[in-house]
Amino acid sequence: MYQLDHLADVARKAVRIGHELIRTGRPETVTEKADRDTFTDVDVRIEHEIRKYLAEATPDIDFVGEEEGRSGSGAEGACIWGLDPIDGTANFVHGIPLCGISLVLMRGGRALVAAVSLPYFDLHYSAVVGNGAFVNGKKMSVSETTELSKSIVAMGDYAIGKDASKKNRERIKLTAKLAAQVERVRMFGSAAHDLVWLAEGRVDAAIVLSNNTLDLAAGILIARESGALVMDSTGATHNINSPDTVAVAPGISDQLLSLVQSTSSLLD
């Protein structure tokens, strides 16, 4: 049986594969998956290379990737690696240096190990459940802010695809309320950035009005291990079935949750 510390080292090495591929390459092909949702040849190459590495390093652990799906035994309750090869593909395609590789190890819907790499900043984040979170080997923690008016809040992207107009009406309402009360609202276009920068204290909260496991699970574990509270918009503890994501430094959690709840119909 693998030890979690060993698996954390495997995860860090895995995301470095993607780190190097992003730093050294540009997309040659861009393919549309759905309305304004694309992937590139670099996404596919990263997923292929990391899948290959993990199959060699941890052959008994299943794998699921955003672009090519699942491989492994498929046994119920088995450990599984989950990869988003490029979180922030739209940024990557347009040459905006806000994208990252996000890898999580889960069992029974619970995140155990996480690693996120932000190639253009040379920042490497990791966490093991119950053992804290680290950036470039240094332990980190969320901000100690207690005032919403002095807080930077990261917002997830506006919706695309089915019912996007309806969903975005609520996102715009929330953005307006945040703009009136917080120091600044930021939209980085990458959930990985939102959550690891919350963990590092660069922002004070991250709100994502959706819950895509491959996009979020690694960053959520890293944020939690840095001391963030991670809930859904009802205030319930966040899990893989939550409809949305509110991650926040404890000192402003009540204020932020009250503001979020004051905007109706947030759920996707």
Please check whether residue 125 is in contact with residue 139, taking contact to mean a CB–CB distance below 8 angstroms. no
d(C-alpha 107, C-alpha 123), whole Å: 26
Please check whether residue 207 is in contact with residue 216, taking contact to mean a CB–CB distance below 8 angstroms. no
Q: What are phi and psi of 80, to 5 degrees?
A: -150, 135
Q: Which of 112, 115, 133 is nearest to 198 (CA)?
A: 133
d(C-alpha 22, C-alpha 100), whole Å: 9
Per residue of the chain (268 residues), give pLDDT as tens: 689 999 999 999 999 999 999 998 888 888 877 666 777 889 999 999 999 999 999 999 999 998 776 776 667 778 999 999 999 999 999 999 999 999 999 999 999 999 999 999 999 999 999 999 999 999 999 999 999 999 999 999 887 777 888 888 888 999 999 999 999 999 999 999 999 999 999 999 999 988 888 889 999 999 999 999 999 999 999 999 999 999 999 999 999 999 999 886 544 4
pTM: 0.93
d(C-alpha 170, C-alpha 149), whole Å: 22
Residue 227: DSSP 8-state: T
The residues near 188 (Cβ < 8 Å, ≥ 6 apart) are 88, 98, 154, 194, 197
- Hey, what are 19's tokens? 């780190």
- Hey, what are 177's tokens? 């309320």
Residue type for position 265: S
The residues near 116 (Cβ < 8 Å, ≥ 6 apart) are 15, 100, 101, 102, 103, 124, 125, 126, 192, 195, 196, 218, 219, 222
3-state SS of 25-83 is CCCCCEEEEECCEEEEHHHHHHHHHHHHHHHHHCCCCEEEECCCEEECCCCCCCCEEEE
